């Protein structure tokens, strides 16, 4: 049903104003049956959330796209139409996106099951910046990787900024959470993955010279500040670095991830 809204303070639009912690508490983000909500910002991200099978709750949109959205979404989904100023203020972006969607969060996947179903997995430890996470997910999907595993200190893949940066491709990448960095490395080795830990350490092997011994590969990435923990580095099958010009020690984790994801991508 289409409803026209003219009051910026209309309580029916409150969920579109919420930040990530209001949309889904920490317990919501960690629990296995799925709980809480997420916001898809932009018509493309809304479409990708819909195609991914996420349950829509409401849409805030421009008049010019309302009729099309009405045809694509179930009749019980509220479609609110507002002018550019109202949409920009309500969403907090300042930019009047043509469509912003409110969706129910999907159930989390089980990490062990994800390993059993995948051959190429991206693994993150303490990657707590949602912009970096979004860039990594976009590269992973573009280059054919199967899944994502994160530790509990990493950012939420369904955070507003992460989804926006990934252009919604995050919704195409199954993900699971592990409580401890050591847990995910042990789990991957049990599932016969070669684990490749990316590090700027000059003693590591140039990633172009690494030929994994198994067809199942997991790329391990750490935080922008500290990199991977020593425990994870010591457990990994390979320690890999990207060769740099003199005086440059590292790349942004999103850029480094894109290079490594390309080098070790599944064959097409």
Q: What is the CATH number of the domain that holds 157?
A: 3.40.1280.10
Is residue 268 in a domain? no
Instruction: Look up residue 119 and give its DSSP letter.
Output: S
Q: Is the same domain home to 144 and 243?
A: yes
Residue 153 structure tokens: 């200190």
pLDDT recorded at residue 108? 79
Q: Is the same domain home to 25 and 61?
A: yes
In sequence order, which ranges of 9-129 are alpha helices (DSSP H)?
A: 14-17, 20-23, 26-30, 43-51, 63-72, 84-91, 111-117
Domain boundary among 48, 72, 104: 104
Q: Is the same domain home to 85 and 135?
A: no
Q: Is the same domain home to 18 and 119?
A: no
pLDDT recorded at residue 32? 38
Q: Is 116 exposed, middle or buried (0-12, 13-18, 19+ CB in 10 A)?
A: exposed
In sequence order, which ranges of the chain are alpha helices (DSSP H)?
A: 14-17, 20-23, 26-30, 43-51, 63-72, 84-91, 111-117, 130-142, 160-165, 181-190, 230-235, 253-263
Domain limits for position 57: 2-104
The residue ranges of the chain whose pLDDT is under 70 are: 25-35, 180-182, 268
pLDDT recorded at residue 27? 47
DSSP states along 209-230 = G---SSS-EEEEE-BTTTBS-H
Neighbours of 183 (CB within 10 A): 14
Alpha carbon of residue 256 to chain centroid:
16
């Amino acid at each position: 049903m289409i409803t026209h809204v003219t009051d910026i303070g209309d309580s029916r639009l409150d969920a579109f104003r919420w930040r990530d912690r209001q949309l889904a508490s920490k317990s919501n983000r960690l629990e296995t049956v799925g709980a809480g909500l997420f916001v898809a910002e932009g018509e493309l991200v809304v479409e990708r959330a819909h195609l991914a099978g996420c349950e829509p709750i409401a849409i805030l949109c421009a008049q010019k796209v309302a009729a099309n959205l009405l045809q694509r979404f179930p009749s019980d989904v509220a479609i609110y139409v507002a002018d550019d100023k109202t949409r920009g203020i309500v969403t907090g972006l300042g930019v009047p996106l043509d469509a912003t969607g409110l969706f129910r969060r999907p159930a989390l996947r089980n990490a062990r099951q994800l390993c059993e179903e995948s051959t190429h997995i991206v693994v993150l430890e303490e990657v707590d910046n949602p912009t970096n996470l979004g860039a990594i997910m976009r590269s992973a999907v573009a280059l054919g990787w199967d899944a994502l595993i994160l530790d509990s200190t990493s950012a939420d893949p369904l955070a507003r900024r992460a989804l926006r940066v990934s252009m919604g491709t995050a919704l195409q990448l199954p993900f699971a959470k592990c409580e401890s960095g050591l847990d995910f490395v042990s789990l991957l080795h049990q599932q016969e993955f070669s684990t490749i830990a990316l590090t700027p350490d000059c003693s590591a092997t140039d990633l172009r010279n690494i030929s994994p011994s198994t067809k199942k590969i997991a790329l391990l990435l750490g935080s922008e500040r500290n990199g991977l923990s020593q425990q994870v580095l010591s457990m990994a099958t390979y320690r890999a670095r990207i060769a740099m010009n003199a005086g440059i020690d590292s790349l942004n984790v999103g850029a480094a991830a894109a290079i490594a994801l390309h080098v070790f991508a599944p064959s097409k």
